[in-house]
Amino acid sequence: MTEGNFVDYIKLHLKSGNGGKGSAHLRREKYIPKGGPDGGDGGRGGHVIFKANKDLWTLFHLKFKRHLKATHGEHGSKQTSTGADGEDQYVEVPLGTVIRDTNTNEVIKEMTEHEEEYIAVEGGMGGKGNAHFKSSTNQTPRFAQPGIPGEEKDITLELKLLADVGLVGFPNAGKSTLLSVITAAKPKIANYEFTTLKPNLGIVEYRNYKTFVVADIPGIIEGAAEGKGLGYRFLRHIERNSTLLFLIPADAPSVKEQYEILLDELRRYNPELLDKSRVIAISKGDLLDEELKAELAQELEDAFGNIPHVFISSIAQQGLMELKDLLWKTLNEDKAAD
């Protein structure tokens, strides 16, 4: 799917179907005197139902469907015939979709399991026909219930990609290049900042046919909280990652300073992100000779002694298996802790 087709934010207006009217019919047949009431019930209005689908990864299919309506229930008829229910409107969404009330911003539901269903607005109940109201004191009721109107609601869909590892780094740190060499993903790669404008997902093939998923989001810059660069728009996609991989280029003026800036921006967006496991990868490691690499390794040890780090080069294919081993170990430690 092309970058322009990735949609992760949609506003929708939902309307369920009205319930059908109950029938007030009186039975009139030859040779049957005093036939009495035989009006049937109205049918239920259709629901609007969200259904999670693991094969989707974008909300693009809803981009031009801002109004979603279910059909109305049919009216009851004679011979106590119940009207047909309205047809439910199913809306398929990717795993990781958050459904919010647009007016209150309250989270209504998070879709995280394949084929999970959620009724967002319920169809109105059908009215009862006059056959229900016959009694010894009212043998010929000439009234029936109207159907209950359907519901209307404005909702907002936000997609948070489900991945094991989230890539965090400044623009042009080599995130897309790394994703392209350790997975089959083909993100846009160029020698200028903000080449990644939309998140990308890739599946890493590990030893013994094991796999894990990596998400690459557009680069963060200092001042993202004030809307600089692409701001915080895509940081929601790493909220569900269990491990954050900080990618910092070896030619950065200060590895520690870049890391602290990134960490501060994450803290300002959502302090809970700091509770996730972290791994630091120094990219473009082929620019360093062994002496410089040893010096930088000591600096990293002094600054981030408790955070695992590794030197890699996506172009020279250096340190990639070591990085995979480190990520796999961290991911499994997280699962064991849970």
Q: Does 150 show up as a binding residue in the annotation?
A: no
Query: Residue 299 is encoded by which pair of tokens?
Result: 């600096």
Q: Does 194 show up as a binding residue in the annotation?
A: yes
Q: Does 16 show up as a binding residue in the annotation?
A: no
Q: Does 283 show up as a binding residue in the annotation?
A: yes
In DSSP terms, which residues pair with 248 in a beta bridge?
282
Q: Does 284 show up as a binding residue in the annotation?
A: yes
Q: Does 216 show up as a binding residue in the annotation?
A: yes
Q: Does 176 show up as a binding residue in the annotation?
A: yes
Q: Does 287 show up as a binding residue in the annotation?
A: no
Q: Does 200 show up as a binding residue in the annotation?
A: no
Residues 6 or more apart whose Cβ sits within 8 Å of residue 289: none
Q: Does 197 show up as a binding residue in the annotation?
A: yes
Q: Does 330 show up as a binding residue in the annotation?
A: no
Q: Does 243 show up as a binding residue in the annotation?
A: no
In DSSP terms, which residues pair with 280 in a beta bridge?
246, 309
Q: Does 147 show up as a binding residue in the annotation?
A: no
Q: Does 174 show up as a binding residue in the annotation?
A: yes
Q: Does 175 show up as a binding residue in the annotation?
A: yes
Query: Residue 83 is encoded by which pair of tokens?
Result: 């009207």
Q: Does 94 show up as a binding residue in the annotation?
A: no
Q: Does 154 show up as a binding residue in the annotation?
A: no
Q: Does 8 show up as a binding residue in the annotation?
A: no
Q: Does 148 show up as a binding residue in the annotation?
A: no
Q: Does 136 show up as a binding residue in the annotation?
A: no
Over the chain, what HEC string results?
CCHHHCCCEEEEEEECCCCCCCCCCECCECCECCCCECCCCCCCCCCEEEEEECCCCCCHHHCCCCEEECCCCCCCECCCECCCCCCCEEEEEECCEEEEECCCCCEEEEECCCCCEEEEECCCCCCCCHHHHCCCCCCCCCCCCCCCCCCEEEEEEEECCCCCEEEECCCCCCHHHHHHHHCCCCCCCCCCCCCCCCCEEEEEECHHHCEEEEEECCCCCCCHHHCCCCCCCCHHHHCCCCEEEEEEECCCCCHHHHHHHHHHHHHHHCHHHHHCEEEEEEECHHHCCHHHHHHHHHHHHHHCCCCCEEECECCCCECHHHHHHHHHHHHHHHHHHC
Q: Are 83 and 135 in contact (CB under 8 A)?
A: no
Which residue ranges are tagged as binding site for GTP? 169-176, 194-198, 216-219, 283-286, 313-315
Which residue ranges are tagged as binding site? 169-176, 194-198, 216-219, 283-286, 313-315
Which residue ranges are tagged as binding site for Mg(2+)? 176, 196
